[in-house]
Amino acid sequence: MSAVMIARKGTRKWEKLPGKNTFCCDGRVMMARQKGVFYLTLFLIIGTCSLFFGFECPYLAVHLSPAIPVFAIVLFLFVMAMLLRTSFSDPGVLPRALPEEAAFIEMEIEAANGNVPAGQRPPPRIRNVQINNQIVKLKYCYTCKIFRPPRASHCSICDNCVDRFDHHCPWVGNCVGKRNYRYFYLFTLSLSLLTIYIFAFDIVHVVLRSVDSGFVNTLKETPGTYPFKPRLTGERSLWTPNQPRN
């Protein structure tokens, strides 16, 4: 059961979720409270692609093929879609036990363990269940008051138990679990392809310009050298050694 499912009647579940998550768009967007690194991820991806589209693609579209910027735009949009899908979706948060359920579970555990002498550590809270003719041990979460399913774990940052918990990724601002793992995988794969694509055609751009005007002149004509253009191109300065400065 998802933690952001909206009940048809009464209070909506995301409104009373005790974890450390933030919600918006009527509970359809779920993120961790620590979103600073996620904004950095957006800035790096959008900033890098903007420079590529503004300074590299016009030359490559004319001298090589118009398909180069078109494919880059499609790949960029796919990366952004997978990033937002990973960041804003429920990773598979398991609902916590209600007070009545937690009290019943505590009574079952105390009855199974018996009276523990003072000074001795109580035995671990584990429940054995049979899945596919195999005995599986379910661990108890003291925060959520539930026995977690296999491969589920409690995220200390979001303060929730997540089904098939992989890790908490600050770069996407969310946990990676059962419900958004496929989107996270597609995001990392497409971002790697986009990085290689941009880097490769940056080199192609420099090589093509070097054939026409030389490598040194190509570096002088790059956008990063605009503030130093007079010094690099050998233009005469307004001040000469024989002329006093103002």
- Give the residue numbers marked as catalytic: 169
> Is the separation of the CB atoms in 15 and 5 below 8 Å?
no
**Beta carbons within 10 angstroms of residue 105's beta carbon:** 17
> Is the separation of the CB atoms in 165 and 153 below 8 Å?
yes
**H-run or E-run covering 137:** strand 134-141
Pairing assessment for the beta strands 146-147 and 134-141 based on DSSP bridges: antiparallel
Among candidates 194, 225, 183, which has minimal Cα distance to 48?
Answer: 194
Structure tokens at 56: 């590299």
